Chains A and B, each alone.
Chain A
Amino acid sequence: MARMNYSWGLWASAVAGILGLAASFSPVAQAQGQPQNRAGANVPVLNWGTSKPEFWFNNEEESAARAVRAWFAAWEAGNPLLLGSFADPNVIFRRKSSDDLGHGRDSLMRGVCGYIGGRLNLTGLFVVGGDFDTGVITSWDKYDAAGNRTRMGSFFRVQNGLITEWMDTQLDTGEPAAAPNQNSGACQAVNAALGPAAAPTGN
């Protein structure tokens, strides 16, 4: 009886060993052992962090993440006044990376009201912050009326829960943004709240 148990035990351990060996040579296991990027190159060991779950955020980072999410929610809703409420009065901004710096919340709201709104989807939010300032980059998808997607990136700085800097950039090549509509309902709402924009002074 003892001999029979011993024999079955040997068989069982042999079968388990063969299965384990087969699993270790499977393509899935090999892919996990040799991480590759999309270009197919081996990924080297990095000596910096790339993954920061939200529960690791410090207070300033959490506050900045909320302000930026609110920014995108206001943008999607097409509400420049709500968007402005998440910005510092002295915010600096670039609508696209090749622009000069714009200054001030009023100017920001007048600048974005012509093209704010429409479907978007925030796909990534990465934060580095401390007790003085916080930097944020985001990836997001912008959809036009026909449902075409444009991949976008944004940079923000946030202080005391308010956005102090914003910049957008188009990540993929594609159609340029449509011309802003300064007669839109959003612009009328901004003009009603702030008064008409001052006429530019000439020389």
Chain B
Amino acid sequence: MWTTAVNALRKPVHLLAAGALMLVIGAAANAQAPAPARGGGVNRANPPRQGFEPTGQDPANYTPQEAAAIAVAQKWVETSNSHDVPAHMALIDENVVYRPDPTSALLHGARGYCSAFGFIRNPNTILKIDEMYVVGGASDALVLMKRTDINNPVGNGRSGGLAGYPVPLAVLVRVKNGKVTEWYDAPVNKVSGAAMRTAGAQQAPPAQPAQPRPIPEVCMKYPEGSK
């Protein structure tokens, strides 16, 4: 009777022992596995994946400069939504390069930026970050975000404008030493000012010599910057 019982139990005991052994070996191998090399340098364990390179990022693997750039970009949007001009402008390099639109020339200086980046002064705009990617190092960092803007909802916009309609954009923000050194908005959908101008759906301004836009009083204290 006793022998029969022991024989019957031997199999489950062996299975349990084997399982425990596999668990221990697996945990040890996991702890000793080398961290994946980043940057795609020459590495026999990680050969180049050109053409099949990563298209997404794990924030846990950001370099310190990339993490800092993401923090600046996040604050850049937050201060836009809070319409806190001083807090927003504290993030902006005095020689910032900017373009409100792909059709714009390359413009320079914090004062002009303050004037062009109207979201910080208009209480009827809401900006939302949908996606954000970063590549950066000690010299420069590029942040690409997908941002959705809601401009002048509840009928506050001008007739024929984008009042309240969500406008998605690809936004480039360059960051260096904790400051935004470049801002560039590029609408990605046809529902956008740039696309409507291109398609002729929005009335072009009357042909007159270009007049410099007046700088709002709140922006006058910021430096004009130099190239």
Judge: A and B partners, yes or no.
yes
B55 within 8 A of A: yes
Contact of B59 with A15 in the complex, beta carbons under 8 Å? no
Q: Please determine whether A130 and B168 come into contact, CB atoms closer than 8 angstroms.
A: yes
Report yes or no: B186 in contact with A135, Cβ–Cβ below 8 A: yes
A72 to chain B, nearest CB (A): 8
Contact with A along B17-58 (1 / 0, CB 8 A): 000100110010011000000011110000011110111111
Chain A, 137-163, CB within 8 A of any chain B CB: 137-139, 141, 147, 149, 151, 153, 155, 157
| Interface membership of B141, Cβ < 8 A | yes
Give residues of chain A (19-59) contacting chain B, Cβ–Cβ below 8 Å.
Answer: 19, 23, 26-28, 35-39, 41, 43, 46-54, 57
Closest chain B residue, CB of each to CB of A47: B129
Q: Which of B157-212 contact A (CB under 8 A)?
A: 168, 170-172, 174, 181-182, 186-190, 192, 194-195
Query: Which among A46, A124, A132, A153 is the interface contact of B194 at CB below 8 angstroms?
Result: A132
Q: Does any Cβ of A come within 8 Å of B138's Cβ?
A: yes
Q: Which residues of B contact A137 (CB under 8 A)?
A: 133, 135, 142-144, 172
Q: Is the interface of A mostly helix, strand, loop or mixed?
A: mixed
- B137–A172 touching, CB < 8 Å: yes
* Chain B residues, Cβ within 8 Å of A23: 23, 27
B102 touches A54 (CB 8 A): no
Stretch in contact with the other chain, from B60-68, B85-93, B113-121: B60-68
User: Which chain A residues lie closer than 8 Å to B9 at the CB level?
Assistant: 4-5, 8
A1-B5, A41-B67 known; A52+B144 contact, CB < 8 A = no
Return the contact of B56 from the options A12, A46, A50, A139 (Cβ within 8 A). Answer: A50
Q: Known contacts being A50-B131, A130-B189, is A173 close to B63, with CB within 8 Å?
A: no
- Contact pattern, A 80-100, Cβ under 8 Å of B = 1, otherwise 0: 000000000000000001001
**1/0 per position for A92-114, CB-CB distance to B under 8 A?**
00000100110000000000000
Which residues on the B side are within 8 Å of A136 (C-beta)?
144
Q: Check B132 for interface membership: any CB of A closer than 8 A.
A: yes
A121 touches B (CB below 8 Å): yes
Among A27, A72, A135, contact of B31 (Cβ-Cβ < 8 Å)? A27
Q: Contact between B129 and A48 (Cβ–Cβ < 8 Å)?
A: yes
- The answer to whether A4 and B57 have CB atoms under 8 Å apart is no
A100/B106 contact (C-beta < 8 A), A50-B131, A130-B188, A133-B186 known? yes
**B136 pairs with A171, CB closer than 8 A:** yes
Of B56, B102, B133, B142, which one neighbours A165 at CB under 8 angstroms? B102
**Which residues of A lie under 8 Å from residue B133 when comparing CB positions?**
50, 126, 128, 137
A126 to B172, CA, bound (A): 12
6 contacts between A and B (CB under 8 A): A37-B60, A43-B59, A133-B194, A153-B136, A164-B102, A171-B139
6 closest Cβ contacts across the A-B interface?
Answer: A135-B170, A51-B56, A171-B137, A130-B188, A126-B133, A123-B40
